[in-house]
Amino acid sequence: MKISDTEQETNAGDKLHWTTEAESALKKVPFFVRKKAKNRIEKYVLDKLKIRRSSIGSEVVDGAVVTIEDVKAAKEKFLSNMSKDIRGFQADRCFGASGCPNVANSSGSFLEKAENLLEQENILFFLKQHVKGDLKYHHEFRLSCADCPNCCSQPQIKDFGVIGAVLPAIADEPCSQCQACVNACPDHCITMSDNSISTDSRCKIPTIDFSSCLMCGKCIEACPTGTICEGKRGFRVQLAGHLGRHPRLALEIDGLLSESEATDALRNVIQFYKKNSREGERFAKIFNEPDMLEIIRKKSIN
Ligand code: SF4
Ligand code: SF4
Ligand code: SF4
C-alpha cells in the first residue's frame, strides 16, 4: 500500500518527543487544523536536525524533541512563506470523478472553466492591490463543486458553490406500479396518486413534490420503465456561504442552471466582488442582499 506524504509525515511525527510546553501550545491550535500544524512543526524539527522522514524506523527518534521554541519558529516560517503560496482563490471538487455512485451531474468541466475565469480575472492581483498588509489564505476567494446534493465538498460554506443536479420528469411511458422510485427517493418526495384518466384503483401514477426534490436523480436510476425520466440536467448554484465568527450558509439562486449559465453567474459574482470589496473583504462578507440573488440570476440566464 502506498503511504501518502501526509501519512508519512504523521507517522514520522509520532516518533518525536514533545515537551509539555510545546504540547500545550499545540492544543491551542483550532482542532480542524491541529493535525496539519503538528505535521508542519515536526517537519521543521526533522529538517533542522537534517533527518529524512523516509529514514525513520519504528523507534522514537533520538534527540528529536519538539520544544516551544520550535513551535514558535515553525509558526514564523509558515507565516512568512504563506504569501508565496497564495494564488488568490481556492477551487475544489468532491470525489465524484473517482467513481462515486451518487454523481448526478459531473462538475469537472465547469470547474475547469471556473478556474480559467478566476485566473483571467487575476484575483491575486486584485487582492494584492486591496488588502492592507500581508495576504493570507483567508483572503482568498473560495469556490467549491459537488457532483450531487450530498455536497461532500461543502459548497454551502464557500463564496461560490455549485451542486451537480438532475431534475426528474414524468414521461408518457406506462408505470408498472413497482414503487421503486418511492423507495429510492432519500427525501420522500414521491407518492403514488390516482390516475385521473383511469378509474382502476390499482392504476396509480407517481407524483413528485418538486418543492422538496433536491434533484439527485436517484428515482430516475431506479425506474425500470422510464416513466420517471431526466427532465433537465445542470447545476444548483449557491452564493456567499462562509464560516468564521459569523457563519452563514450560502443562499441558492433559483432554478437549475446550465454549465454556461453557472459560468456567467460566476463572472457576475466576480464583477460584483471586484467592484464592492474595497479592502479585499471576502465576497461572502459583502454580499448581504438576497435581492442580489435575483439580479445575478437574471444577468446569468438572459
Ligand atoms: S458530493 Fe456526491 S458525487 Fe460527490 S463525492 Fe459526495 S456523494 Fe459522491
Ligand atoms: S431527484 Fe432525488 S430528491 Fe428528487 S424526487 Fe428523485 S430521488 Fe427524490
Ligand atoms: S414510476 Fe417507475 S419506479 Fe416508480 S412506480 Fe412507476 S415504474 Fe416503478
**Residues 247 and 218 reside in one and the same domain:** no
Note whether 252 and 160 are same-domain residues.
yes
211 CA from centroid of ligand 3 (Å): 20
- Domain containing residue 120: CATH number: 3.30.413.10
pLDDT of residue 152: 94
Q: How many independent structural domains does the chain possess?
A: 3
Residue 219 Cβ inside 6 Å of ligand 2? The answer reads: yes
Does residue 256 line the site of ligand 2, with CB under 6 A? no
**pLDDT value at residue 134:** 80
Q: What is the pLDDT of residue 82?
A: 66
Q: Which residue, of 85, 109, 127, is where some domain finishes?
A: 85
3-state secondary structure 145-186: EECCCCCCCCHHHCCEEEEEEEEEEECCCCCCCCCHHHHHCC
Question: 77 and 215, same structural domain?
Answer: no
Quick one: 244 and 278 in the same domain?
yes
> What is each CA distance from 87 to 82, 83, 131, 133, in whole angstroms?
10, 9, 14, 16
Angle at 58 between CA 54 and CA 60, to 5 degrees: 95
Range of the domain at 223: 169-231
pLDDT confidence of residue 222 = 97
Picking from 85, 120, 139, the residue at the C-terminal end of a domain is 85
Digits of tens for pLDDT over the chain (302 positions)? 333 333 343 444 467 889 999 999 999 887 777 888 898 898 888 888 887 766 665 566 667 789 999 999 988 888 777 666 788 898 999 999 989 999 999 999 999 999 999 999 999 999 988 888 888 888 899 999 999 999 999 999 999 999 999 999 999 999 999 999 999 999 999 998 876 655 555 577 899 999 999 999 999 999 999 999 999 999 999 999 988 888 889 999 989 999 999 999 999 999 989 988 888 888 888 887 666 666 666 666 55
Residues 10 and 78 in one domain: yes
pLDDT at 53: 64
CA of 289 to the centre of ligand 1 (A): 30
Are both 255 and 282 inside the same structural domain? yes
**Which ligand has the shortest distance to the CA of 218?**
2
Residues 118 and 245 in one domain: yes
Say if residue 267 is in the same domain as residue 280: yes
What is the distance between the alpha carbons of residues 45 and 50, in angstroms, rounded to a whole number? Answer: 9
Q: Verify that 34 and 79 share a domain, yes or no.
A: yes
Cβ pair 144, 235 in contact under 8 A: no
| Domain stops at, among 85, 113, 141 | 85
Asked whether residue 277 falls in the same domain as residue 293, the answer is yes
Does the predicted model carry a pTM greater than 0.85? no
Please identify, by atom number, the ligand 2 atom nearest to the C-alpha of residue 216. 2
The predicted pLDDT at position 5 comes to: 39
Which residue from 152, 153, 156, 158 has its CB within 8 A of the most atoms of ligand 1, so it is best to mutate?
152
Task: Specify the CATH number for the domain of residue 187.
Answer: 3.30.70.3270
- Return the exposure string of 291-301: e unless at least 16 CB atoms fall within 10 Å of the residue's CB, then b: ebbeebbebbb
pLDDT score recorded for residue 276: 87
Given this model, what pLDDT does residue 6 score?
Answer: 38
Q: Are residues 198 and 223 in the same domain?
A: yes
Three-state DSSP class for 260? Answer: helix
Q: Is the same domain home to 251 and 278?
A: yes
